[in-house]
Structure 1
Amino acid sequence: MQQKQALKTGVLLVNLGTPDSPEVPDVRKYLREFLMDKRVIDISYWKRWMLVNMIIAPFRAPKSAKEYKKLWTENGSPLLYYGVKVKSLLQEQLGEEFHVALGMRYQSPSIEGALTELKAQGVHKIIVVPLFPQYASATVGSVTDKVMELVKNWQIIPDMDFIDHFHDHPMFINAFAEIGKSYLKKKDYDHVIFSYHGVPERQIIKAATDTCCKLKDATCACNQEQNIYCYRSACFHTTKLLAEALGLKDDQYSVCFQSRLGKDPWIQPYTEDVIIDLAKAGKKKVLAYSPAFIADCLETTLEVGEEYKEVFEENGGEEWDLVESLNEHPLWIDCLEQLVKERCNTHAFNPTIA
Structure 2
Amino acid sequence: MNKSKSKTGILLVNLGTPDSPETGDVRKYLREFLMDGRVLDIPYLSRWMLVNFIIAPFRSPKSAKEYQKLWTERGSPLLFHTEDLRDKLVPLLDQEKYQVEIAMRYQSPSIEDGLKALNKANVQEIVVLPLFPQYASASNGSVIDKVMELAREWQIIPSIRFISNFVEHPLFLEAWAELGKKQMAEGDYDRYLFSYHGLPERQILKGAVDGYCQLNGKCCASYHKKNRYCYRAQSFHTTRLISEKLQLPKEKVLTSFQSRLGKDPWIKPYTDELIKEMAADGVKKVMVFSPAFVADCLETTVEVGEEYKELFIELGGEKWDLVPSLNSEETWVECVKDLVTSEK
Same fold (TM over 0.5): yes
Q: Secondary structure at the match of 1:194?
A: strand
The answer to whether the 8 A contact 2:205-2:213 is kept is: no
Does the CA-based 8 Å contact 1:224-1:234 persist in structure 2?
A: no
| TM-superposed deviation, 1:212 | 2.3
Q: CA deviation at 1:51?
A: 0.5
SS state at 1:219 partner: coil
Q: What's the counterpart of residue 40 of structure 1? A: 39
Q: CA, structure 1 residues 99+219, in 2 after alignment: closer, same or farther (shift >3 Å)?
A: same
Superposed displacement of residue 87, structure 1: 1.1
Provide TM-score, normalisation by structure 1. Answer: 0.95
3-state SS of the aligned residue for 2:219? helix
**Residues in 2 aligned to 1:168 and 1:218: alpha-carbon distance in whole angstroms:** 20
Change (3 A) 1:218 1:39: same
1:114-193 correspondence to structure 2 within 5 Å: 114-193=114-193
Give, as a single letter, the amino acid of the residue that structure 2 aligns with 1:179.
Answer: L
Q: Secondary structure at the match of 2:218?
A: helix
RMSD, matched Cα: 1.3
What does residue 63 of structure 1 align with? Answer: 62
Task: Say yes or no: does 1:317 pair with 2:317.
Answer: yes
Q: Which residue is 1:350 aligned to?
A: none
Q: Aligned equivalents of 2:260 and 2:253: distance in 1?
A: 22
Corresponding position: 1:283 with 2:283: yes
Relative to structure 1, is the Cα distance of residues 261 and 209 closer, same or farther in structure 2, using a 3 angstrom cutoff? same
* Unmatched runs of 5 consecutive residues or more in structure 1: 347-354
Distance 1:6 1:327 in 2: 32
d(CA) in 2 for partners of 1:213, 1:335? 30
Q: What's the % identity of the aligned pairs?
A: 59
Q: Once superposed, which parts of structure 1, at least 4 consecutive aligned residues long, lie more than 3 Å away? A: none
After TM superposition, give the deviation of residue 297 of structure 1 in Å: 0.2
CA contact (8 A) 2:201 2:267 kept: yes
Structure 1 CA distance for aligned equivalents of residues 249 and 13 of structure 2: 35
- 1-side partners of 2:245 and 2:19: how far apart? 38
How far off its partner does 1:227 sit?
A: 1.2
Q: What is the SS of the residue equivalent to 2:320?
A: strand
In structure 2, what is the equivalent of residue 248 of structure 1?
Answer: 248
Counterpart Cα distance in 2 of 1:118 and 1:317? 50
Q: Distance in 2 between matches of 1:4 and 1:123?
A: 10
8 Å contact kept, 2:258–2:270: yes
- The structural deviation recorded for 1:94 is 1.4
Residue 5 of structure 1: how far off its partner (Å): 4.1
Contact 1:36 1:49 in 2 (8 A): yes
The runs of 5 or more residues in structure 2 that have no matched partner are none
The letter of the residue matching 1:188 is: D
CA distances 1:144-175 after superposition (whole Å, capped 9, x unpaired): 00000000011110000000000111110110
Partner of 1:341: 341
Query: Structure 1's 225 and 248: CA in aligned 2 closer, same or farther, altered over 3 A?
Result: farther
Whole-angstrom CA distance in 2 between matches of 1:116 and 1:37: 22
Q: Could you tell me whether the CA contact under 8 Å between 1:102 and 1:114 is conserved in 2? A: yes
Cα deviations by residue, 1:323-344 (Å, 9 ceiling, x for unpaired)? 00000100000000011121xx
2:223–2:234 CA contact under 8 A, matched in 1: no
Q: Aligned partners of 1:173, 1:212: CA distance in 2, in Å?
A: 27
1:12 aligns with 2:11: yes
Task: Tell me the alpha carbon deviations over residues 40-59 of structure 1, each in whole angstroms, 9 at most, x when there is no partner.
Answer: 00000000001000000000
Q: CA deviation at 1:255?
A: 0.3
* Cα distance in 1 for residues equivalent to 2:75 and 2:6: 35
Residue 221 (1) aligns with residue 221 (2): yes
- Partner AA of 1:288 in structure 2: V
Deviations 1:92-120 (A, max 9, x none): 11121100001111000000000000011
Distance 1:4 1:235 in 2: 41
Q: 1:104 is paired with a residue of what secondary structure?
A: strand
